[in-house]
Structure 1
Amino acid sequence: MNATRFFARMSLDTEVGTALSDTRIRLLEQIEREGSINRAAKAVPLSYKAAWDAIDTMNNLAPEPLVKRVAGGRQGGGTQLTDYGRRIVAMYRALEIEYQAALDRLTERLKEVNGGDVQSFQKLMHRMSMKASARNQFSGTVTGLRLGGIDYEVRIALDAQTEITAIITRASAENLGLAIGREVFALVKSSSVMLVADRSVKLTARNQLWGEVSAIHEGPVNSEVTLALPSGRSVTAVVTADGCEALGLRPGSPACAIFKASSVILAICE
């Protein structure tokens, strides 16, 4: 058997999914070093958009934000880690050392087993890894369950300030083993999110999250608009360029992200 070694590219999982990876930790370390998301992204390297997407995801999944925007930085503003973010980076690196040592012991043990094929095992682990394509990924706790015929209305608290509602089939609720207090993962495609800027507009959609436009990534037809929610989480929508202009969306302007309860996909990790 060819000499093969596992290398520690650790990811940290919560009850509702993967929250941290080596790339994200390196991004956090560069933010701490540079004080700028642009310079940090180049150092990793990541695109500016990919870096902000990663930050939004981490802040959404964590109990409290890891990264915050600050005013009055070296160039009029910047980005920095919170104390919680610094603790998470330190913990990750400490665990990574132990993780690598464990992998080295595992490699040696596999070599001792008849037919132990480290490379085949690596391929299996790679195939079992998966990521969700939904742009908006939240973790939360089930706070309400109401049966309505064949459907369940599920209320999920993302934090003390933010709650969303999902509608799933009774069979899905039973399959997931949903119960009050259970940690769940909520996924919402950015194409399912609509935006409004007028507080007087009345809509039937159950989920209406007011925030402030934090970023707009413009495309030739559609733009990707990210709202920063008061809790530090964020939600992203895909809006036509004309729609963006008609709503007068600009960084710093208030807007509401709206999506149907039926657009929320729930998942759990066992």
Structure 2
Amino acid sequence: MPSHLSARLSLLNALGTELTEARIRLLEAIERDGSISQAAKAVPLSYKAAWDAVDQINNLSERPLVARATGGAGGGGTRLTPYGKQVVALYRALEADYQSTVARITAALDQGEASDIEGFRRLVQRLQWRSSARNQFHGRIERIAGDGVESEVQVRLDDATVLAAVITGESVENLELAEGVEVLALIKASSVMIAREDGLRISARNQLWGEVSRVHEGPVNDEITVALPSGRSIAAVITRASSEALELSPGVRACAFFKASSVLLARPS
């Protein structure tokens, strides 16, 4: 196990480009303050940059690291999940004295929790991939169907969510895609549309229902973030006029939908 983890530690310098010290401090501040705005100031980061960082980490992780709490006696807020606390602890442990500390953590883990270290390694690896696509989701291929020219690839993100991507048969071969293979699904925010009506008939293959968590207003377009029940989130860029017409605001139930042809798939080389 230590030698296997040493290979991950070769990513330490590269890790600084994505799972940075600033992002770890952001997670620690979220746990301390229970507020994303207060945590962003402590790092410091802009409010939007802080949420973008949290969204990316949550979307690429097998389990959310940060959870949004709504209502209740405390009036809601933001907190780290138990897995989020473990990721921060592992990062700090590896940073301080990776070899001996990881050995102690591994020995202390209860049986059945050792996979959490492997999950941490995979999260670090995924965070090294760079793309201009605002939405990035990790999943496993569940099914591939097609006629050789085009194929529909179904990617399972979690128990409740499956994305459909339509790509060429040549791409399936080049990427060596098969059932069970891990991939990243990439979707540009400009390809995501928003609806609010239940039962709306639309041709888009992918329809993800959730709750609007943020509206970032711009002079022409708004960026709408929809929090999904799984703890992931998806962003859409729509016109300001459309945002106003739909009366989008935090807490509103909404559907983020997009074509299967708008989903790109990637694998590490």
Q: TM-score range by the shorter chain?
A: 0.7 to 0.9
Q: Which residue of 1 aligns with 2:117?
A: none
Q: Which residue of 2 aligns with 1:46?
A: 45
Q: For structure 1, which segment, 206-215 or 61-70, has the greater mean C-alpha deviation from structure 2 after superposition?
A: 61-70
Structure having the higher helix fraction is 2
- In 2, Cα distance between equivalents of 1:204 and 1:72: 35
For residues 86-118 of structure 1, the C-alpha deviation after alignment (integer angstroms, 9 at most, x for no partner) is 0110011111234699xxxxxxxxxxxxxxxxx
Aligned length: 233
Q: Is 2:15 the partner of 1:11? A: yes
For residues 240-265 of structure 1, the C-alpha deviation after alignment (integer angstroms, 9 at most, x for no partner) is 11101111211111111111111111
Percent sequence identity over matched residues? 58
Question: Which structure 2 residues correspond to residues 106-255 of structure 1 after superposition, within 5 A?
Answer: 131-255=130-254
For residues 56-93 of structure 1, the C-alpha deviation after alignment (integer angstroms, 9 at most, x for no partner) is 11111112111112246897332111111101100111
TM-score for both structures, normalised by structure 1: 0.80
CA drift of 1:200 comes to 2.6
For residues 140-161 of structure 1, the C-alpha deviation after alignment (integer angstroms, 9 at most, x for no partner) is 0000101224111100000001
CA-atom RMSD, angstroms? Answer: 2.5
Q: Which residue of 2 aligns with 1:34?
A: 33
- In 2, Cα distance between equivalents of 1:92 and 1:10: 14
Aligned AA for 2:192?
V
TM-score for both structures, normalised by structure 2: 0.80
Q: 1:50 to 1:149 in 2, by over 3 A?
A: same
Aligned AA for 1:31?
I
Instruction: Report the 3-state secondary structure (helix = DSSP H, G, I; strand = E; otherwise coil) of the residue aligned with 1:86.
Output: helix
Q: 1:172 to 1:98 in 2, by over 3 A?
A: farther
Mark the runs of 5 or more structure 1 residues left unpaired by the alignment: 1-7, 13-17, 102-128
- In 1, Cα distance between equivalents of 2:20 and 2:32: 18
- In 2, Cα distance between equivalents of 1:130 and 1:140: 15
Mark the runs of 5 or more structure 2 residues left unpaired by the alignment: 1-11, 101-127
CA drift of 1:130 comes to 6.0
For residues 192-248 of structure 1, the C-alpha deviation after alignment (integer angstroms, 9 at most, x for no partner) is 001111123211111011111011000111100000111111110001111011112
Question: Which structure 2 residues correspond to residues 18-97 of structure 1 after superposition, within 5 A?
Answer: 20-71=19-70, 76-97=75-96
1:19·1:58 contact (CA, 8 Å) conserved in 2? no
- In 1, Cα distance between equivalents of 2:71 and 2:168: 49
Instruction: Report the 3-state secondary structure (helix = DSSP H, G, I; strand = E; otherwise coil) of the residue aligned with 1:231.
Output: coil
